[in-house]
Amino acid sequence: IADHVGFVLRDEPGHSVTVFHNRAAGLPEGQRIEDIMKEALGVLRGNGIEDERVDFVVKSSRDPAELILKEARQGQYAAVAVGRSAGKPASLGALFGSVSQTLLRKLEGAALWISK
């Protein structure tokens, strides 16, 4: 999703990017939050996003959708971009995971970008 965000916002210097991570979601084996944030920053840089336009937020909740909704309300973001991990879509439920479905239903005041 960082690649998509960087591509869309590279020629929009008035917009910043907040890379958000839910610590409670866990990490792939052997990775640290710092590694994931560094990788996202590298992808954004590769799309021409300057470091000054990027912020990092790490919070923790067992309810990731509600955590994202709360952050979106507080940060007054123009868009919320999330990746998804669902497999090959056979139905709407398979296309969008539970977090994406919740955001699709409840997110107000911001565009929702979902990418695999």
Q: What is the pLDDT of residues 60-80, one digit of tens each?
A: 999 999 999 999 999 999 999
Mean pLDDT of the chain: 89
> What pTM was estimated for this model as a whole?
0.84
Residue 116 pLDDT: 74
Residue given tokens 């992808």 in the structure block: 43
Q: What is the distance, to the nearest Å, from the Cα of residue 38 to the centroid of all Cα atoms in its chain?
A: 14
Residues 6+ apart with CB under 8 A from 15: 9, 53, 78
